[in-house]
Structure 1
Amino acid sequence: MIAVGVALAGSLGAVVRFVVDSALRARSASSLPWPTVLINVVGSLLLGLLTGAVLFHDAPAAMLTIAGVGFCGGFTTFSTTSVDSVRLIVARRYGAACAIVLGTLATGLAAAGVGLAVAAV
């Protein structure tokens, strides 16, 4: 039953990502993939909150599996960050590609830490 929940939550996360990404890109004239970075950071924050709820507040582990692995896994996307970075490299925008990769990693880790810290309170 948990596997079905993960699959459904993952599907929902992917749809939400697509809708949010499309809406953000429609409002931005930037050639940089900021919507992807923002989505990954928000997903990392949510995963930190969910993990903290399980670790510090006895929330059911199945919630973390379904919402964390499923929804957050479908919502965030390392593969899109990779494709966006390769596109920047092909366009010879090496600094922007490095900034996107390193910025996504750093802000994603920080957001997950913030979520975990908030949940610990």
Structure 2
Amino acid sequence: MIVALVFVGAAVGAALRYVTARLVRRTFPFPWATFAVNVVGSFVLGCVAGASPELRALVGAGLCGGLTTYSTFSFETLRLTELGRHGQAFANVAAGLTAGLAAAALGYALSR
């Protein structure tokens, strides 16, 4: 049962990430779509950290796992560096990590 919940959540999360990337990419040259899904996913994961195992599987591992993307974050940062946009690469890392941790902490605090 838990595996099915992860599967369903991941399908929804991956679809949301794809839609976000399609919508945001048309407007901004900076990797805002990846930044946004990672921060939102961190917040949601913080919110469900103390929930039931079933909800953590569906929303935490599934939805947040499908929505967020560390590999794309890493690739986009590397790509910015290759393009000589070192300031943007640094900002992507600093803002992504800071905002992600803050969002997870906020979600956790609000769910208590």
Q: TM-score range by the shorter chain?
A: over 0.9
Structure 2 CA distance for aligned equivalents of residues 38 and 15 of structure 1: 14
Matched, 1:82 2:80: no
Q: Structure 2 length normalisation: TM-score?
A: 0.93
Q: Which runs of 5+ in 2 are unaligned?
A: none
1:6 and 2:6 correspond: yes
**Map of 1:50 onto structure 2:** 48
Following superposition, the deviation at residue 8 of structure 1 comes to 2.1
Give the gaps of 5 or more residues in structure 1: 55-59
The 1-side partners of 2:32 and 2:24 are apart by 9
Report the structure number with the largest CA radius of gyration.
1
Give, in angstroms, the shift of residue 105 of structure 1.
0.7
Sequence identity, in percent? 39
TM-score of the superposed pair, with normalisation by structure 1? 0.87
Q: Distance in 1 between matches of 2:109 and 2:55?
A: 19
Q: Deviations over 1:55-108 (max 9, x none)?
A: xxxxx2221122101110000111111111111011011121111012111100
Amino acid at match of 1:21: A
Moved over 4 A (4+): none
Q: How does 1:54-73 map to 2 (within 5 A)?
A: 54=51, 60-73=52-65
Residue 96 of structure 2 aligns with which residue? Answer: 104
Q: Matched residues in 2 for 1:106 and 1:43: separation?
A: 14
Please name the residue that 1:16 is paired with. Answer: 16
Distance 1:96 1:20 in 2: 20
Distance in 2 (alpha carbons) for counterparts of 1:44 and 1:14: 15
Aligned length: 112
